[in-house]
Structure 1
């Protein structure tokens, strides 16, 4: 089958591309290579896929001729978007509405007009829940994002569901819970932490460190995408993709101390507006309907992340 990946040069997009190529699928992808973080990292991600094994379009979804790019495509994996809670406040909000909402709507319109897409998989986020009503959080619990980033992810997810319900596009939204692993973005906590552990640098810890997160290893997230993209589900389906770790940031630091064999140096800073205190998702629905569950324990995943950092930050 032919798969089309948006945000193919990013962390999850490039890891998914490698998996699909290895599985024998034809892969094409689009990425604007924006400077939210170093574009050289994204180009290295593309090189790691193997440039001769897929077709790459360096374009912006909002200006690309999407119907032409999607001609012959069976499955769309929409991984692209503007990330980051802290940057989504203030003047940069328009970047988030453009990259997360408008781009999703244009992609859905193209899929609707073509009428040949067998599956449209959208990378949503646990940020849509905000400080959730309960834990583990169900897909049916009320979303109440507390950051502009979360608002745009939820808006895009609603569009994905609407196009599924109203036009029969076989859409699926996957709500990722804090994805980590080799290749994770350099601005994200785990990469900052394992890099600092390896190089003896100081990390910034925002808030008390008692914040609880449900961390999900990237290979498990890729497997969820594969099952959503090639499995059966009703149009507009929404699933949590959660690793089930539910540990505090202080516990993560202790784990990295143990893995690296040396204590991390920590600079404590005030909490940041829009950061939730806790995340934790129920995966009963995705297990029941797609047969997916996380397979990577946090310590195993962190060890692989640290081993990657030893090579990446020489």
Structure 2
């Protein structure tokens, strides 16, 4: 794989997508960013894209991946970074499952077909630690049997397996690296995610709804580290690989609350609630494959990353 010259980033108005597009531009790539959210009508998209709009080398395409002419957009691309999708474990139960299926699986198949027809050499897919389900008492390894505990996790696993199946076809140069992100956080994080909710509880004084007893553990990954792994995945010597991207350690939610108090200088107001359907007890990434294949090593501690997110929220 050569250096990226022309990249397509789906979900570019999102949290990781906007950070990735910035990093690609700094590397000298031309970036076609695709998102169904318009910065003219969506304040979150406008904020995430603020540093990208009007920048040389960046072109925004607004529209649904299920409706756009994807072949014209992938033509000549060195790599496609597929980060678009519907996130969230708790909302994936019930009536919204059709939306998850369409956005996370059906659209992925449509994009894969476009990549095949235009001879794209590499797709980097945003997968999720949700494909694992509960920890087996040690850090999760890519060869572990997936057992997602939510409809969201099921759709992410389906998209991952579908993409890897396309990568082993003999009639296409397409290769795929599926990145199993473990709870990415940092500036511009979605407000429904844990660290964002914790810091906003401090800022507003409105209690954080803490699901469960707080001993559940998560492997938190700073967005800068996640982007570094994503960039490395684009040029890694691989044909069809799933790779964990984690922060290097798993911490309890009680530890996260203590870290937030240290970073902000204030205690986090909390309101306890029951554990939610689909929530797992522990996530922790085995990073052996990421180190060997991507040269990946997380460099941002939870306190450092949370401090950056606190600066962003308070600014």
> Among 294, 297, 304, which residue is 1:300 paired with?
304
Unaligned runs of 5+ in 1: none
Whole-Å separation in 2 of the counterparts to 1:239 and 1:18? 23
After superposition, what is the alpha-carbon deviation per residue over 1:68-97, rounded to whole angstroms, capped at 9, x for unaligned?
111221110000000000100000000000
2:50 aligned counterpart, secondary structure: helix
SS at match of 1:15: helix
The Cα shift of 1:200 comes to 2.5
The equivalent residue for 1:27 is 31
Deviation for aligned residue 1:209: 1.0
Q: Report the Cα offset of residue 50 of structure 1.
A: 3.3
| More helix per residue | 1
Give the one of 44, 48, 56 matched to 1:45: 48
Task: Normalising by structure 2, report the TM-score.
Answer: 0.95
Q: Distance in 1 between matches of 2:42 and 2:255?
A: 32
Secondary structure of 1:47 counterpart:
coil
Counterpart of 1:194 (choices 199, 211, 215) is: 199
After superposition, where does 1:111-130 map in structure 2 within 5 Å? 111-115=115-119, 117-130=120-133
Contact 1:195 1:310 in 2 (8 A): no
1:148 equivalent among 126, 151, 160 = 151
- How far apart, CA to CA, are the structure 1 residues paired with 2:138 and 2:107? 32
Paired with 1:26 and 1:124, the residues of 2 have a C-alpha distance of 24
Greater Cα shift, 18-27 or 211-220 = 18-27
Alignment of 1:72-151 (within 5 A): 72-115=76-119, 117-151=120-154
Contact 2:105 2:156 in 1 (8 A): yes
Provide the aligned C-alpha RMSD in A.
Answer: 1.4
Contact 1:245 1:298 in 2 (8 A): no
Q: In structure 1, what is the Cα distance between the partners aligned to 2:267 and 2:294?
A: 40
Q: Distance in 1 between matches of 2:19 and 2:222?
A: 11
In the alignment, structure 1 residue 209 sits paired with structure 2 residue 177? no
The 8 Å contact of residues 133 and 146 in structure 2, kept in 1 or not, is answered as yes
2:160 aligned with 1:157? yes
Task: Count the aligned residue pairs.
Answer: 307
Query: Alignment partner of 1:52: what SS?
Result: coil
Q: Residues 217-256 of structure 1: matches in 2 within 5 Å? A: 217-233=222-238, 235-256=239-260
Structure 1 residue 192 displacement after superposition: 1.2
Alpha-carbon distance in structure 2 between the residues aligned to 1:19 and 1:182 = 15
Gaps of 5+ in 2: none
Q: CA deviation at 1:187?
A: 1.2
Q: Quote the residue 2:263 is aligned against.
A: 259
* 1:220 Cα offset (Å): 0.3
- TM-score for the superposition, normalised by structure 1: 0.95
Moved more, 271-280 or 43-52: 43-52
Deviations 1:111-147 (A, max 9, x none): 11112x1210000000000013342111000000000
Question: Aligned with 2:146: secondary structure?
Answer: coil
